[in-house]
Amino acid sequence: MRWIWIDRIEEFRSREYARSVKNVTLAEEHLHDHFPGYPVMPTSLIVEGLAQTGGLLVGEASGFGGLVVLAKLSRVTFHDYALPGDQITYEVRLKELRPEGAVVEGTARVGEKLLAEAEIVFAQMDAQKAAAIVGNRYSNFRQDMLDMIRISQTTSTASNSEPAGTS
Amino acid sequence: MPTREEIFQKVQETLVDALVVEPEEVTREATLTGDLGAESIDFLDIVFRLEKAFNIKIPRGDLFPEEVLDDPKYVADGKLTAEGAEELKRRMPWAADHIREGLEIQDLFTVDMIVSFIESKLNQMAASQN
């Protein structure tokens, strides 16, 4: 399994805003344990989806040169559950950006229903330091994310009359 | 220019939000790491919040010169060496009274030190505007 918790980027405005979606499905093994007879998406993975959407926003600002690490959830509130069949929309706005770190604010929704709100602090490491600490896992994850962006560009063009803005 | 007390109150609010602690825990003498449980990533968060609260720019390493603390020449067994104390006094003149050889790193950064830093920063800005 790949550690990708967003299925597609729907809108991307560099250094400003990103919107992505995640489809919750019973094919995800963990839902059968969380919880038996009542599958709900773990809130930690909702946060991960927000962080991946935000991480792309932060990483893109520096040309994906380094490693963006979820460092801290300074604020998070969960309001509701995401169930199999739901499509979650993650919306993230960049609040602060510096070479050593960044802050984003985001929401997760299913339709109009608010699932979660969070403020996330990221640390940024240069590529050399990142490779020394996490080795191949860093370059593999980075490649998965870059592939996901490319797939998003293709699939949004295929399914929408107008392609998602990936400025 | 805000008074020292006004600066303290804003710093206190900032730390309550960033570290999720009670206001009464954030005394002037409280240490960020030892008393308030701050970890290294919190320093970045605190810098972001102080910039916003006081409408100032805090360049990397100005308030928390963490790269000094990573240098074995300056820190041994979690304590400042003589050389480390000298280096930090040079880098952080607003905290010179507090910094000494043998000071435990977890006791290095205090709430009052942030207040002094902000005060010196605001003074500098006021001076450069005149």
- Is A102 among the domain residues? yes
A79 is catalytic: no
CB atoms A72 and B45 under 8 Å: yes
Residue of A nearest to B61 (CA): A100
The proportion of chain A whose per-residue pLDDT surpasses 70, expressed as a percent, equals 93
Q: Is the pLDDT of residue B91 over 70?
A: yes
At A155 the pLDDT is: 80
Q: Per the structure, how many domains does chain A have?
A: 1
The nearest alpha carbon in chain B to A97 belongs to B48
- Cross-chain residue pair B45–A99, CB shorter than 8 Å: no
d(CA B45, nearest CA chain A) in Å: 7
DSSP assignment of A126-145:
-HHHHHHHHTHHHHHHHHHH
In words, the CATH class of domain B1-59+109-130 is mainly alpha
Are A121 and B48 an interchain contact pair (Cβ–Cβ within 8 Å)?
yes
Task: Name the residue range of residue A104's domain.
Answer: 8-158
Q: pLDDT tens digits, residue range B58-88?
A: 998 899 998 888 899 999 999 999 999 999 9
Dihedral, CA atoms, A136, A137, A143, A144, nearest 10 degrees?
A: 150
Mean pLDDT of B35-59: 94
Give domain status of residue A90, yes or no: yes
B18 to chain A: which residues are within 8 Å by CB? 74
Residues of chain B with CATH 1.10.1200.10: 1-59+109-130
Interval A80-96 mean pLDDT: 97
User: Which pair of tokens denotes residue A7?
Assistant: 């299925």
The answer, yes or no, to whether residue B25 has pLDDT greater than 90, is yes
ipTM: 0.79
Which tens digits make up the pLDDT trace of B108-129?
999 999 999 999 999 998 898 8
Q: Of residues A30, A32, A34, A79, which has the active-site annotation?
A: A34
- pLDDT, one tens digit per residue, over A20-43 is 999 999 999 999 999 999 999 999
Describe the crossing of helices B40-54 and B111-129 by its angle, rounded to 10 degrees: 40
User: At A149, is the pLDDT very low, low, confident or very high (cuts 50, 70, 90)?
Assistant: confident
What is the average pLDDT score of chain B?
93
What is the residue-averaged pLDDT of chain A?
89
Confidence band for A73, pLDDT divided at 50, 70 and 90: very high
Please state the rounded mean pLDDT for residues A64-78: 91
What pLDDT score does A143 carry? 83
Query: Is the pLDDT at B99 greater than 50, yes or no?
Result: yes
CA neighbor of B23 nearest in space, from B111, B106, B118: B111
Helix (H, G, I), strand (E, B) or coil at A87: strand
Other C-beta atoms closer than 10 Å to the C-beta of B83 total: 14
pLDDT on residue B21:
95
Look at residue A166 and tell me whether its pLDDT is greater than 60: no
Residues of B in contact with A123 (CB under 8 A): 41, 44
Tell me the count of A-B CB pairs closer than 8 A. Answer: 24
With a cut of 80, say whether residue A159 has pLDDT above it.
no
pLDDT band at A163 (very low <50, low <70, confident <90, very high): very low
B44 chain-A contacts, CB cut-off 8 A:
71, 100-101, 121, 123
Q: Is residue A72 part of a domain?
A: yes
- The CATH number given to whatever domain includes residue A32 is 3.10.129.10
Q: What is the pLDDT of residue A154?
A: 84
Nearest CA to B91 out of B106, B107, B108, B77 is that of: B108
Q: A99: nearest CA in chain B?
A: B60
| pLDDT above 60 (res A161) | no
Task: Pick the more confident residue, A167 or A103.
Answer: A103
Query: Cα A123 to chain center, whole Å?
Result: 15
Domain assignment present for residue A77? The answer is yes
Q: Is B88 exposed, middle or buried (0-12, 13-18, 19+ CB in 10 A)?
A: buried
- Chain B closest-CA separation from residue A105 CA (Å): 13
**pTM over the 0.90 mark:** no
User: Which of B17, B19, B45, B52 has the most A C-beta neighbours within 10 Å, making it the best mutation to test the interface with A?
Assistant: B45
